[in-house]
Structure formats: C-alpha cells, structure tokens
Structure 1
C-alpha cells in the first residue's frame, strides 16, 4: 500500500499486485469555468502589475494552495500574442485559500515587493544564449521548507523547443517571501530531468520528469524527504522485475521511460474515483492537452486520452491538476490551462468516465 501525504483512509492510493486493468474510458463535459490571471479576470491581477503570465502548477503549504507562474509581464500592447511586454519577471508566486473549485479559482494574493508588485522569486540573467529566463516547473514541500523546481533556459527556439543550461531547486524557509538557489541537486540541461511534477508518498518524494521542450518521454525518480538536497540520494526507475516490483538505480543514465511520447508540461495526481494515478500534459505532437492513467507511479500507463483539443483551444499548454481540486469523489477534476493568446491562465473542469461501470447522471 502506498499512502499519499494528506490523504484520508477513503482516498489513500493502493499499489495492487499483478497487472490490474485500466478503467479510464474517457472524459466528458469538459468546459472552461473561468479565468485565473489577467486584468480582465475576476482576480484582476493588474493589481499586482500583471497583464499576462502563464503556467500555474499548484502545491500546498502553510494552509494555502500556491500557484507557480512562469514569465510574467506587467504591461502588454493591445493585440499582442504570446509572451512579451514590459516589467518582465521570470517567475511569480500566487496563493489561494479557495477550496471550492466549482465557480473558478479566487487568488488571495501574490508574494509581492515593497511597492505591491508580484515579485520575481528566482533571478535570471535575461541574456539570450546565456540565460534567458528561469522557469519554475513545479513546487513542493520537504522538511518544513518550500521548494521550487526550476529550469535555466538558455534560448527559446521554435514552438515547443527550447535549450536549457540545467535544472535545479530554489528553497524558501520564510513561507515564500525569499528564495535561494541551491547548489545541489542539479541535472544537466540535456538530461531527461528538466521539467517535473512531484508527489510525496510516505517519506519519499516522487518526480515524474521530462527533458526541455515538448518532444521527450517521461522518466521517474524518487528521494527520501530528508535527503531532498543530496544529489547522490536520488534513485531512478529502471523497470520492473519478474514479479512486477519496481527497480531503482543510483545512476541517472540507467533511467527508463515510463511514458514514451512527446510530453511537455506535466502534472501527476492520485484520483480516488478511479483509484488510479492520473497524468496530464501538453502533447508536443499537436494533440492538445491529454490524460493518461496508471495503477502505479511507474506504469504501465494507458493510452493518451484527449482532455482539451488544440482545435478547441488553439495555443493551449500546461494542463496542471491538483489532488484537492476535485468534486463528486474525484469524478470531476479541475485544472489550470495556459493559452498563448491572450497569454494568461484559465480554469477548466472535466468529468471522468469509468469503462468498468455504469455512469450515474451528473448532479
């Protein structure tokens, strides 16, 4: 049995023996609930000198849900598509105590500077070909501290492609007010451990990882919470033995893909309605935002199911879920989704369909 930190008896995940069948049959009733960021959103983020920003992965700490945003711009010319503008910050951090996902997501505020602007947490050189920006890919907590996993981007390339110097962590011990880049652990910019999604299970933290860009597959690594800052303590999934038990190695070069696809920004959660792990990600092959299921963190993972198509929402990316933002026992999931035009983050919902039981009418 695997117990997800913070779960109740009714929702704690199980890792069954054998090879249990997949149960996710599809998604229905997918729709936009509201807008999270931007001057015209209910949150009026222009109050924090934010006209446009993207990403918005979520983690919990100190009684709040923290939303981790990427490149943020205070002012943008009318009609501008994609990232750009003035008052550029490479990353910002919002927070909420809103527990009801059904009517949108209300932000309580941001970590701000002395004039009230959402402030940059992890600095960058902002020099193309050296270090263009520092993009946080996920947040988590360990040993009472807050951490942001981030990538140092050297150069933005063609759509879905970019070059990175390295991936590492920044740490805060004052509830997100200040952050320090850590010297370790770090992973090379050409490795498969650049963008991550994290979940804590007992005293271990699991990281599902992909390379820079949106054209690589997913690897899996883990570390004990107490050793999160020790590079040599990380273990990398290498496959399963004859009994289906996971095998781990200290050498990252031995890591084996758990999902072989064109994977961009990703998030992984445990879903109590399915009693399965869910993985959402940007599909680099043009299929939009997709969803997969698995009985275990290492798979086998089911086929990709379209969550939101690129035809329905052109320019979508970064479909981020959070385990506590579900309703109807996990049957309805909620997620953040970035849209390139107007370069802001929106709130979506979807109903999961089980293939192994009759579906009740949605309330």
Structure 2
C-alpha cells in the first residue's frame, strides 16, 4: 500500500472527523503537519429502511465473541431466517376464552411532559428502525402527552403521534447513517475504555508516519465523545451521528492496519497492531448498537446494557416470544450438584407477563411464561439458554410445549373468576428440605394478579391476587386456594393486589403490596417462610401514631388484618408531595444490598421516572427518592432487581435490573453504578 493510499484514507478520516466536530462541537477542528500532500478519501454510508425484525444479536456470549471477529466492513446484518415465526394463533391457555384479545384501550402511566419527556435537539439524522411498535399494551402505556413533538428515534421500534401510548404507535420510516457499530470506538464509562497500540515493523522500509497521527486524532475524538456522553438526568439524547462517526473511524483504522500487514514484505515480522478492544469495550459497542435510545448512557449513573427478550435476544426463534414485559427475577436457591456438572442448577428465574408470538402484540398470546439464566457476568447482558424439549431437563431456557415454543406457567383454575390475563408481580424461593414433593429441596413461589379490565393510562382493575408454587424449578405451578386475596373495597386486601418479595434473613418473607394500577402507595406484610401460601398467617406493619392527649402508640405488627397496614413508601410529602420524585409507587422490586448495607427498592413513580430508596430495615424509615433515570422515549416501566448484581452480593458497586420498554414491548437489562449516586 503506497503513501498516496495512506494519505487517501487519512483524508477520509479527517473529513469525517472534521465535519463531525464542526456539526456537534460548533466549530471546526484541524490538524496540520509539515507535509504538503493532500488527497481525498471516500467512504459510503449505508442506508436502510427499518424492517419488522431488525438485526439479530448473537444468542450467547460465545456467539457474540465470534461475531466480533467478523468482517468490520459489513454494513447490514442479514435477518436470520430461523428467527421468523409463523402465525400460530393457538392459545394454550386452559380454562380461558380462546384467542382472548388484550383490550386495545389498555394504557399505562401518564407523564408530565414538561419535567420528564426528553427534549430532542435540532433535527438530526434519524436512528435505525426495526419492528413496528405494539398497537395496544397489555400491561402499560407510559407516555409523553400528545403534542410533545418527540422525534422517532429507537433502534428497533418507535411510537409516533407524540409518543402517546394511548394512540396506536406506527412504525417510523427512518434512515440509518451507519449500521456497522459492533466494533465501533464508542464512549466507555469509567475504566471501560479501549486501548490503542501503534503498529511497528522490523523492516527497514520507511512508510509515511501517519498512523500515529490518525490514532491521536481518533483518541482526541474519543475523549470528546466521553465528555459528550457524560449525561445528567434530564439531558437530551446524544446525536446518532456521533456513534456513526466513531464506527467509521474504527472501521477505517482497522482497514489501515490490515492493509499495512497484508502489504508488508514476507520477510518482515509484523507485530500485532490492531486496536485492542477489552470485553468491557465490546459490551459497550453492543450496547451502542442495540440501544433503543441514541445514547445508552441515560444518566450519570445508569446505562442500557442489552436486550433480555425480543428479536435481538432471539426469543422469537427459540421460544416464539416476540414481545413480553416485566421480567421479575429471583434466585432459585437450588444448590449445584457436582455429580451433574452439565446442568447448572443454580439459576435466576425470570417471570414475564403477557407474551405474544408476532410483532404488534399479535399472534399467539399467553398470559405469562418463565425464563432461566445461569449468567453471572452481567456487564455484557444476560444470556438465556435454549429450551430443553421433552428430555426431562428442568433447567432449560424456558418451560416448553413444543421444541421451540414457551408455554404459560400459571393458568386460571376453574374455581377462580375469569380474567383478561394473569400477570406475575413477584417471585421468591424457599428451602423446603422436608417436603418430599420438592424435587430439589426448594420450592418456588410466584405472586400474580388477575386483571379483569384495562382502563385509562396507568389504571387497571383486578378481581384477586394469589400465589402459585412450583416444586420443579418453575416447570409447573399450582395456584394455592388459601393464598387468594379478593379485591374488595371493604378489605385491606385491595392494597396487596401487586407484590414484591424480599427475605429478611430472620425466617420471614417480607411482602410489599400496592393496589391495582399505578396511583397507590406501598404497604408491608410479613409471613414465616413455611406459611407463605396462607394469607391468614400474615402480619401487617402499622406505623407508630400519636393519640389525642399526647399518647403514642408504637409501631407494631398486626396479624390477620390487612386493613391495619400503613403506607410506608409513597403518598407522602404534604400538600405538594405529588411534585416530588417517588410520590406514587408502581411495579416495585426490593432486595438487600451488601454494598450499601441497606435494603433497596426500585419502582416507577407518578412521572414515570425510575427511582430508588434505601432503608436499614424492611419497614423503614425509607430515604427520599433518588432518580436513576427519567422517562425515556417509548415509555419505561417495571424496574426489577437482579439478585446476582455485584453490589447485591458485596463484590462491587454495580446494580443490574430489568426494565420494560412499552414501544418495543420487551425487556432490557440496565446497569446503575451506585458509586456515582
């Protein structure tokens, strides 16, 4: 490769970097040396219209690693034909109406657009699109009010018409600036930066000394990108061209190094000279490519990691699940058996809500299902293995009723009232070595709600909540009659229609309850682990109160009286409490955090922000709400904590949690660095 070719490539890079700097920094940046050679390099920007499936993410981490070695010059990934599903409308639900449709009026959280909707910068290149957004939400429609003027900008699906989930979203026709970003030099957080090594040779042939110059240019641009990506809560999304620019720079550098190696004399020993991407850098590149938002770093502390369900996670081809939500997680508590190393018995179980086989909440509909994962390295996403069909293995990726079809885990018993759907809201495992029916010495419990009607934004009606149990790692569940809480206005059970579980380490399971919908506060009950199925054995926390003549009644636990429970989280703050973060509580998750040495709760509030509170004890007093991320384009809800987060286990400051996105109607994994709060 001659000097002119090098100068040509550098010219192309200089043009791209210069234009990018001028567009986004507001001024031009020039580099000069003592040479007078000039040439223009050319590059082509790939453009494509969004389809209904989008690029598929490698299914496992091994696949991702293999994919990272592929040709960086490829522009658009072919959609794997195996990921396509046929229109199977069969509904395996038992004792429920066939093909029961979810109410199209079902809506989610209303949002204050002035304080929460992210404002778009000036018109800029639109992000790539993939699938059409769902037409109706079977659990939520958190939204920006009509007229907010949100510009469609998700990588897979986008809600239009002001991003109001009450209006059926339409697929936005957009053009991607650059699609090859899997190995792009993208901004990294903390110590997760890529490193560059200048190429060296042992030959006496002198080549134009421009490689180091271009590396310096790119490094300076990366430093600038770091600063641009250091967002704060409420900041506008970063321009997509920034990521495209970094992708182009990375690709051109790799081409330079490859050409340099290819054209070197055979007798010369060429040292490896490519930019070495660390695992963290590769994960960040994947996040940038798959993120539903322009910048995966959604706040100073919190960032998008990867998808857990949907086309990018290939739950379509493997489980016939195109869209689902919630993603409640708990440790199954099963001890690994060294005699069967091929089976990872210790797993995270992930209960999800209404699931559909086709885009737009169409095709086969099941009330719920369950996924499993043994993945402990969450920095690059959470891997769900393939299913195990008809071989007796109860540790596959999901319970199945076909070779590649997930099935519901909880169906409506004939002795309970009818439902539009049955949605899991909490899960926990309890060691039960004395129960001969527990195959692995552990029983799994899932609390769920029976929805009878979807109403306005953030409102729905339940007729009861109940608990189902499983003896076989979630493969089969049975609803316990003694666990049913009928939703009556005259009963305190109305405050326990949705739940969150946490084990207190004192023999009790603590149960946080909220009313149906998203307008309530959180209440607390506890029960001995062995009595979790019997609501008559529950005790309810009543806060201390003051009497008429200065007397004080201390806080206490009241057995068998759910109406005695006090609101311990939310609905506080006085006359203007509703203006503060965390006022209402919806879809909460609780666990003890070793890093903080406190209990942690995550939930969505009245403005559809994701907030966190902490407490020394399960009952509180709970801290003021800290906002982890504001409402995002597409509508976010249901933050569900991962039990194997480093901060939870005391091995680091990172907290991982699932988050649902309405416009995509799928679950993604998020990361919060608690050291940055």
> Is the CA contact 1:214–1:263 (under 8 Å) kept in the aligned structure 2?
yes
1:14 alignment partner in structure 2:
none
> Is the CA contact 1:46–1:74 (under 8 Å) kept in the aligned structure 2?
no
2:476 alignment partner in structure 1:
178
* SS of 1:159 mapped into structure 2: coil
Shift of residue 65 of structure 1? Answer: 0.3
Matched, 1:29 2:351: no
Matched, 1:210 2:520: no
Shift of residue 303 of structure 1? Answer: 1.4
Higher-Rg member (1/2): 2
Matched, 1:50 2:321: yes
Matched, 1:198 2:501: yes
Matched, 1:309 2:630: yes
Shift of residue 220 of structure 1? Answer: 0.5
2:257 alignment partner in structure 1:
none
Matched, 1:292 2:292: no
1:281 alignment partner in structure 2:
603
2:529 to 225, 234, 258: 225
1:258 alignment partner in structure 2:
568
> Is the CA contact 2:301–2:628 (under 8 Å) kept in the aligned structure 1?
no
| Cα distance in 1, alignment partners of residues 531 and 554 from structure 2 | 23
Shift of residue 124 of structure 1? Answer: 4.1
1:99 alignment partner in structure 2:
376
2:453 to 138, 152, 155: 155
* SS of 2:324 mapped into structure 1: strand
| Cα distance in 2, alignment partners of residues 184 and 317 from structure 1 | 31
1:249 alignment partner in structure 2:
558
| Cα distance in 1, alignment partners of residues 507 and 595 from structure 2 | 24
1:271 alignment partner in structure 2:
593
Shift of residue 245 of structure 1? Answer: 7.3
> Is the CA contact 2:329–2:643 (under 8 Å) kept in the aligned structure 1?
no
What are the Cα deviations for residues 198-229 of structure 1, in whole angstroms up to 9, with x where unaligned? 11123110111111111100001000011112
Structure 1 residues 349 and 156, CA gap change in structure 2 (3 angstroms): same
> Is the CA contact 1:94–1:110 (under 8 Å) kept in the aligned structure 2?
yes
Matched, 1:38 2:38: no
Shift of residue 115 of structure 1? Answer: 3.6
> Is the CA contact 2:467–2:483 (under 8 Å) kept in the aligned structure 1?
yes
| Cα distance in 1, alignment partners of residues 553 and 473 from structure 2 | 40
* SS of 2:536 mapped into structure 1: helix
* SS of 2:358 mapped into structure 1: coil
1:70 alignment partner in structure 2:
353
> Is the CA contact 2:502–2:509 (under 8 Å) kept in the aligned structure 1?
yes
* SS of 1:301 mapped into structure 2: coil
* SS of 1:226 mapped into structure 2: helix
> Is the CA contact 1:147–1:171 (under 8 Å) kept in the aligned structure 2?
yes
* SS of 1:134 mapped into structure 2: strand
> Is the CA contact 2:454–2:460 (under 8 Å) kept in the aligned structure 1?
yes
Shift of residue 246 of structure 1? Answer: 4.7
What are the Cα deviations for residues 177-201 of structure 1, in whole angstroms up to 9, with x where unaligned? 2111110122222510011111112
TM-score norm. by structure 1 comes to 0.82
1:235 alignment partner in structure 2:
539
Matched, 1:331 2:653: yes
What are the Cα deviations for residues 98-155 of structure 1, in whole angstroms up to 9, with x where unaligned? 0111111111211111343110111249xxx941000010111233211110000001
Higher RCO, Cα 8 Å, sep 6+: 1
Comparing 212-221 and 139-148, the one that deviates more: 139-148
> Is the CA contact 2:608–2:636 (under 8 Å) kept in the aligned structure 1?
no
Off by >2 Å, runs of 4+ in structure 1? 26-29, 43-46, 240-246, 326-330
2:124 alignment partner in structure 1:
none
Higher strand proportion, which one? 1
2:424 alignment partner in structure 1:
136
| Cα distance in 2, alignment partners of residues 240 and 210 from structure 1 | 20
> Is the CA contact 1:334–1:348 (under 8 Å) kept in the aligned structure 2?
yes
What are the Cα deviations for residues 272-317 of structure 1, in whole angstroms up to 9, with x where unaligned? 222111110121x11421111111111111111211210x343100
| Cα distance in 1, alignment partners of residues 381 and 553 from structure 2 | 41
TM-score norm. by structure 2 comes to 0.45
2:640 alignment partner in structure 1:
320
> Is the CA contact 1:271–1:323 (under 8 Å) kept in the aligned structure 2?
no
Shift of residue 321 of structure 1? Answer: 0.6
Q: Which runs of 5+ in 1 are unaligned?
A: 1-25, 356-363
> Is the CA contact 1:38–1:46 (under 8 Å) kept in the aligned structure 2?
no
| Cα distance in 1, alignment partners of residues 654 and 610 from structure 2 | 16
What are the Cα deviations for residues 59-79 of structure 1, in whole angstroms up to 9, with x where unaligned? 111311001100000112xxx
Structure 1 residues 40 and 97, CA gap change in structure 2 (3 angstroms): same
Q: Which runs of 5+ in 2 are unaligned?
A: 1-232, 234-298, 335-345, 386-396, 433-441, 489-493, 547-551, 571-582
Q: RMSD between aligned alpha carbons?
A: 2.3
| Cα distance in 2, alignment partners of residues 227 and 293 from structure 1 | 27
